[in-house]
Amino acid sequence: MALPREYPTENCPIARSLEIIGERWTLLIVRDAFYGVRRFSDFQKHLRIPKAVLSQRLSRLTEGGVLEAVPSSVGGHDEYALTDRGLDLWPVIGALSEWGGNHYQTTPQRRTFSHAECGGRLHAGVCSRCGQAPRVADVVTNPPRELLVERTDDVSAALRRPHRMLGPVTI
């Protein structure tokens, strides 16, 4: 029997959250938004997600207040930016990345996150050098050298370079 998509009688914050972020692909879209991916075509290119599915997930995230459509900085179609509600998902994304790396990653090299101000590596969202829990805009993503090497699209190439979180991907 299929699980319901919504839990209208459930007063559990996890169940209610899963109504917005619990479908396949959704957290990968949110992750990429934190990495600076903003355009529909760039999400599609990087995630290799069917356009119809991406459109549905972006609509759901926008309706749920996680993303907002904003005018493009270079003209053309709108871009997607994390809202305050979306930014509040950073601890979830960071923890899930760390948990997945500890339990399911098959290579020894993994993406790390560091505090832009002092360069300390983050563990559970806290800087190992200064002890602060930096805002996501003050976090640098440091991909391993071999990350996505087989991927030749522009977005994957841009995400192989260390950069500040939330800064737009430069292609």
* DSSP E strand boundaries for 18-155: 67-70, 79-82, 112-115, 122-123, 126-127, 139-142
At residue 1, the pLDDT reads 42
At residue 60, the pLDDT reads 96
At residue 7, the pLDDT reads 65
Mean pLDDT over all residues of the chain?
90
pLDDT tens digits, 101-138: 889 988 778 889 999 999 999 999 999 999 999 999 99
pLDDT-above-70 percentage for the chain: 92
C-beta atoms surrounding 89 within 10 Å:
21
Q: What residue ranges do the domains of the chain occupy?
A: 13-164
Question: Does the domain made of 13-164 have the CATH classification 1.10.10.10?
Answer: yes
At residue 146, the pLDDT reads 67
- Would you state the torsion angle of the CA atoms of residues 21, 44, 84, 89, taken in this order, to the nearest 10 degrees? 40
Helix (H) or strand (E) holding 45: helix 40-47
> Which CA distances in Å does 152 have to 25, 74, 103, 167?
21, 23, 28, 21
At residue 75, the pLDDT reads 78
pTM of this structure? 0.89
pLDDT along the chain (171 residues), means of 10: 60 89 96 97 96 97 97 87 97 92 85 95 94 96 73 85 90 77
- The one-character DSSP state at 66 is S
